Structure formats: C-alpha cells, structure tokens
Amino acid sequence: MPRFFPYDASKLSLLEPCRAALHRRFFEGWQPKTASALCAELSRLAYCQADAIRSSLSIIDMELVDEFIEPDGFGTYGFLARGLRGVVLAFRGTEPDDPTDIFDDARFNPVAWEGGGRVHAGFAEAFLRIRKKATSLLQDLDQSIIFTGHSLGAAVATLAASVFGKAGDETRLLTFGSPRVGDQDFIASLSVKTKAERYVDCADIVCQVPPPIGYVHFGDPYYIDHRGDLQINPTPGTMTDDQIAGHLEYITEYVWKRGNAASRSLADHAPVNYVSALVGAQT
C-alpha cells in the first residue's frame, strides 16, 4: 500500500518533529490497527512535551504513565504509555539543539555490555541515565512491554529491551531509523529473548551508521521503498536499486524546493515518513 499521506521532504519534519505536527497532528484521521503503526507514531510523539503526549494518547484511549527526563531537560527522554493496545516504552531520537544527544551519538567506541558483547558507548550512556527510574517503573508491571523509538531513541530502546526483556516472554522491539547498536555477540544475546522489527525508510542515513566494522544491525530490515511500500527483508541488491531510484526522484522532485532537506538520505529519516508508510500498510 502507498503512504497514507504525501512524502514529507521538509527540514522541519526532520529536525523538529513535534513542531511539524502542528500541520500533521498525531493520530489525525486514523487509528492504529497494527503495533508498527502505533509505535511509529509514539516514536514521533516522543519528541513532544508531556502535555502534548498526554492529549495525543487520549485520542487512542491510552494514558501517559510517566516520563523519563533529565533534570535540566537535556539528554535521554522517553515515556511509558498503556491502554487497551498494551504497554509501550517509547524513546525520543536526537534533538539537534541538545548537546547531550550530539555527544552520545559521537561516542561510537565500543564498551562491554552486561548481557554480553560490546555496544556503542554513547548509546550505553544514554540508556544508563534513565535505567534507575525505568527499573522502578517496570518492575511491578504484569504486562508484556513493547520497546520502541526513532533514531537515537531506537538505540536506547534496543538496550532497554536487552536489560528489561524477559526470557520466555518474547519481548517485542520495534525500531525506526535505528543505527547499529552493538557487535555480533550483543545481537546473539539479545535475539534469545527479543523479537525485532527494524524499520528502514529507503535511504535513511542513520541506518547506515556506525560503519559495519564490529557493529551489526539487530533483526532483518522491514524496508520501506521509495514509493512507501513495505518489503520484509528484501535482498541487498533490491534495496540498492530502490535507493538509487529514490535518490533520482528526490533530485527531480524535492531537492530544489525551498525548506526541504538537502538529500534523500536525510529526508527519509524524518519520523513522519515512517508513520505515513506504516499507516498506509495497515489500511
């Protein structure tokens, strides 16, 4: 199925997802029928403040349980929501004006991880800042939790799933525009208890970092092609051909328009484009 609404190439949707939502509001004109559509929108919603999160969740009969936020407002952010659709722990991606996020992204040296293997040092630090509160919130829940996030938030969600996921109760991890988080040993330890759906929007540049030198992705790609159609684990050649088509389309239709991102690789990372494709896929 095609995208639910038109492809959004704007820098605003890429850099300020919540402010851009003034034009395309959360859950406007649709209701989530799949976990992927729900989590894509919650990952976009994680860029907002608590009041906006709370009011948007009410549209789909979910409630904000609590949020994870640093005392100064910078750094790792996430929220826990619950309702008839389940319990979801969603994390925010990189904020371009947040120096803590930028520093976390840049610290790509590998460090040892408690569950096995090695992971990106900056992502580990981002998770550890919220671990204590997350432990307190999650320890009394008797429901399965879906972990989700976009960009840096996808990396934090992956680490959260590795720590809080329960063996025998297959943990669900849905990520959007995720970078590589750890090495093969980390992935092996995580795969024992976690089912991953790793969504990649065509040429999304963040899905290509850090370089695959010691770092690997967790889970086969749920690939959104340049038309907005979802393909599960296509061949590398199929993805390369589609990305070339996407880049050519971007040059002719988008790059020259004022206010748009400079390249397809950047524009494809905008959370709204993940939402659009996955809402389209459920209709």
Q: What are the phi and psi torsion angles at 169 (to 5°)?
A: -125, 75
What tens digit of pLDDT does each residue of 72-129 get? 555 688 999 999 888 999 999 876 654 444 444 546 688 999 889 999 998 999 899 8
- CATH number assigned to the domain with residue range 11-282, chosen from the 4 options 3.40.50.2300, 2.40.50.140, 3.60.150.10, 3.40.50.1820: 3.40.50.1820
Instruction: Give yes or no for a contact between 260 and 10, defined as CB atoms under 8 angstroms apart.
Output: yes
In sequence order, the 6+-apart residues with CB closer than 8 A to the CB of 175 are 148, 149, 150, 154, 157, 158, 196, 197, 198, 199, 219
Q: What is the pLDDT of residues 201-223, one digit of tens each?
A: 999 999 999 988 889 999 999 99
Predicted TM-score (pTM) of the model is 0.94
Q: Which of 43-47, 169-173, 235-239 has the lowest mean pLDDT?
A: 169-173
Distance between CA atoms of residues 54 and 68, nearest Å = 14
